[in-house]
A and B are shown apart, each in its own frame.
Chain A
Amino acid sequence: MQRRGFLAGLAAFLAPILGLPFRRARADGPPEQAGGAPPHAAGKPAGKPRRFGMAIQVDRCIGCTRCMDACKAENNVPKEPFFFRTWVEQYTIKTDGELVVRSLKTGNGKPSESVPEREIMRSFFVPKLCNQCDHPPCVQVCPVGATFRSPEGVVLVDEERCIGCRYCIQACPYGARYLHPDTKTADKCTFCYHRTTRDLLPACVEVCPTSARIFGDLDNVASPLTRFKRMKKIHTLKPDLNTEPKVLYSDLDGVVR
């Protein structure tokens, strides 16, 4: 343990006792309008920040993997198939009831059939990504506060402060985080924060050919996302964990976890 950290820690520990000023951050929850908020969408009136969310219409996904490729290209995600900010799962329920799941490979190539067609009862694709939980377990466990919720409700990682302990990776129920092999810090979907704060769509939404993904402000009174919320029966992933995801699914099958 470094001497300096050691001492400072002791100070942090003793400060409340000795009445010294020692700032304590809130457990989670957005740091309100963290000073001079980032370049929000130009022309957007200052005030209440938007609350980003995504809808996924499962019965529109054709498993073309354009979103996976676009995400890797846009966000410097390693090309190798062990690191994903978003991925697409193929579920196949066989006539004998067996469930076969796999995640699609990136690159050009049609999703190969892993199950002979005459044994298929039902089959579909499910795109996955960080759920940008309103009650994120990853933020709760980060020991140094390097991951937090932005004013827009997006969970971000401070790559200059992340110590690479990987507690957040363990805490995420959705497998949405990975350790970036170059920076050695935790990495995850940011809802393309650099695009969405400038009124562009996230890369995966931009390239989706069937509009299976809808992105927007959850608080907006009239938008494709709001329409989706009104018209569809919505599910979230692992609702029993009370993470309050902001990625909403319609037509989601019960076997999906």
Chain B
Amino acid sequence: MKSLLFRPVPEQITRLSLAFALLASGVFLVRAHAIPQTWLDREYHVKSTLEREANRPRRFAGAQACTECHEDQVKEKAEGNHRTLACETCHGAAGKHVEDPTETKLFAPRLRDYCVLCHAYDPSRPTGFPQINPALHNPLKPCIECHKPHAPVPPETPKECAACHGEIERTKAVSSHAALACTACHDAPDAHKVTPRLVRPTKPQNREFCGKCHGPKSEEKKAPRVDLAAHGERYLCWQCHYPHLPEGK
């Protein structure tokens, strides 16, 4: 070991050190002078990206832009059942139209196929959301003939119960009990319409009530049959089956 220390530096080491020094200074020179310094500047990269992202073109104008010219429609919509919709949900991106209202006109859906995007029945849609079966619900007739798109309501005075119990009505309307009137199961005295909380409609009380249709002796042809004596005798029917949307069809 000692002899190593006092010997002159071996030639290999000087050669390698020289090569290494050359390489290192080359790298340093390139880094400091030969390349644009922005390549190394992370803050610059972040800043330029934020700017680029923030300045991308906007195609949708936003709800506020519509109110400036179309005050009436906006007001009408704000009071109706479509109040949660933006104008651009149905009319499409309005960015260009806002820039030049005469040059670019917006699309206004007038055919059935647009409304059913939301309102066709789908079992995955939340219950109570207004849905129809497009094949059965006035086929071929454009929706806007009966429903005002900016403030849609049922076209005529609603069936009495549905006026207040819309959600149940809409749920029932897509269920296998759709054809049953509310009064098939509930007796609603006239006074219920005046003082709904004081005078209540009746509700079925026992299993035999459902059994009228679903029991073995029923005359209803389509109703599924069960043997009341053997089928879940400890429970009332509606403890398992929701009458307004019974499972199955």
> Within the complex, are A and B direct neighbours (CB within 8 Å)?
yes
Q: How large is the interface on B (under 10, 10 to 19, 20 to 34, 35 or more residues)?
A: 35 or more
Instruction: Determine if B62 and A34 form an interchain contact, defined as CB atoms under 8 angstroms apart.
Output: no
Interface residues of B in 193-223 (CB under 8 A from A): none
Taken residue by residue from 58 to 99, chain A's Cβ proximity to chain B (1 for < 8 Å, 0 otherwise) reads as 011111111000100111000000000000001110010000
The majority secondary structure among interface residues of chain B is: helix
Decide yes or no whether A8 CB sits under 8 A from chain B. yes
Per the bound structure, the CA–CA distance linking A58 and B113 in Å amounts to 25
Q: A90-B124, A92-B124, A117-B123 are in contact. Are A10 and B85 (CB under 8 A)?
A: no
Closest B residue, CB atoms, query A203: B60
Of B23, B24, B42, B247, which is within 8 A of A145 by CB? B42
Taken residue by residue from 185 to 197, chain A's Cβ proximity to chain B (1 for < 8 Å, 0 otherwise) reads as 0000010011101
Which of A120-128, A173-181, A231-239 makes up part of the contact surface? A120-128
Scoring B28, B46, B47 by chain A CB atoms within 10 A of each residue's CB, the highest score goes to: B46
Q: How large is the interface on A (under 10, 10 to 19, 20 to 34, 35 or more residues)?
A: 35 or more
Decide yes or no whether A207 CB sits under 8 A from chain B. yes
Of B47, B120, B126, which is within 8 A of A34 by CB? B47
| 29 examples of A-B residue contacts, CB within 8 angstroms | A7-B30, A10-B23, A10-B27, A11-B27, A35-B47, A73-B60, A74-B59, A75-B56, A91-B124, A95-B247, A108-B117, A110-B120, A113-B123, A117-B249, A120-B123, A124-B126, A145-B42, A150-B50, A151-B50, A156-B53, A158-B46, A158-B48, A193-B54, A195-B58, A200-B60, A206-B88, A207-B88, A208-B89, A209-B84
The 9 closest A-B pairs by CB, nearest first: A11-B27, A7-B27, A123-B124, A194-B56, A38-B54, A158-B49, A38-B50, A34-B46, A193-B53
